Amino acid sequence: MANPAQTSFAMAKGALETMSRTLAHQLGPRGITVNAVAPGATRTADNGRIFTPELEAAITTLTAHRRLGAAEDIADVVAFLVSDDARWVTGQVLDASGGLFLGPPGQGAE
């Protein structure tokens, strides 16, 4: 999502996504997979206080699961990617946002 207040953050994310794909291509012949995880709004022990009730309400209405992510949600995605079950997944940026960017609310089953 384009946010003028976060230009450097967006640039860094773009660089990491490109680097992940490039490394996946370069390291694939050695059997090494490289992926990136793109978490959405995720409450952690360190950032919990930034999620005011108003901000949390605004974000949760935009996610398919109608909640903020938790650190455990992201950890489980990473655990999958490093497991043998993900051995054929490489060069991907895995969205772990709870469906934050699927579209406007009210378009699916309520």
88-102 pLDDT, tens digit per residue, is 999 999 999 999 878
> What integer pLDDT is reported at residue 103 of this predicted model?
74
In the predicted model, what is the mean pLDDT of residues 23-47? Answer: 96
Lowest-pLDDT range of 19-23, 47-51, 79-83: 47-51
Give the residue carrying structure tokens 């398919």. Answer: 64
Q: Structure pTM?
A: 0.83
Helix segments in the chain, DSSP class H: 7-27, 53-60, 71-82
In this predicted structure, what is the pLDDT of residue 6? 84
What pLDDT score does 92 carry? 97
pLDDT of residue 1: 64
Q: Please give the Cα distance from 28 to 94 (Å, whole number).
A: 18
